[in-house]
Amino acid sequence: MGKIEIIMFLGLSGFILFLFFYMLKRDKVVDSKMAALELALEDLNQELFKIKKDLKNNNTQKTLEEMESVIEKLIINVKKMEEKNIKYIKELENKLFSVEHSVKSKMVDFSNINKTDEQKIINLYKNGYSIEDISRELRIPAGEVELVIKFQSL
C-alpha cells in the first residue's frame, strides 16, 4: 500500500474511533438524563406517599377532584420531560445518520486492481508465468498479484 492509502486508512480509522467515543459520550448523557427522570419520578412517588400518609394521620378530607388535579399536573410534567427526551434522542439519531452517511460517501476503494487486470493476472498465471514475472509485466505489486491468484484458488 502507498503512503497516501496508509494515511487515508489511518485517518478513517481515527475518525471511526472518534465517532465511537462520541456516541459513548452521548449515550452517557442520555443515560444521565434518564437517571434524572427516574429520580424525579421517585420523588413524585415519595410526595404522593407523604400526602396519603398525611391524609390518614390528620383525618383530613380532600376531595377526589383535588387529588385528580395534582395527579394530572404530575402526569403533564412527566409527559413534558418525556417529550424533551424523545426530541433529544431523535436529534441524536439524525446526527448519527448524517455522520454515517458522510463516512459512507467518503469511503474509497483501496484496491488498485480492476477486472481486466485480474483477467490478465489469471491468464498469465495459467500460461506458466511466476508471480514476480506477472508483477513486472503488469506493474502491479507482487502481493496484490498473489492475492488475486489466491482468490481465484489457482
Identify the pLDDT of residue 62: 59
Output the average pLDDT for the chain: 83
Per-residue cell: 102: 458522510
What would the mean pLDDT of 50-74 be, rounded to a whole number?
76
Judged on CB neighbours under 10 Å (0-12, 13-18, 19+), 41 is middle
pLDDT tens across 101-151, in order? 777 665 444 445 567 888 889 999 999 999 999 998 888 898 888 888 888
Say whether pLDDT at 50 is over 80.
Answer: yes
Residue type, 38: E
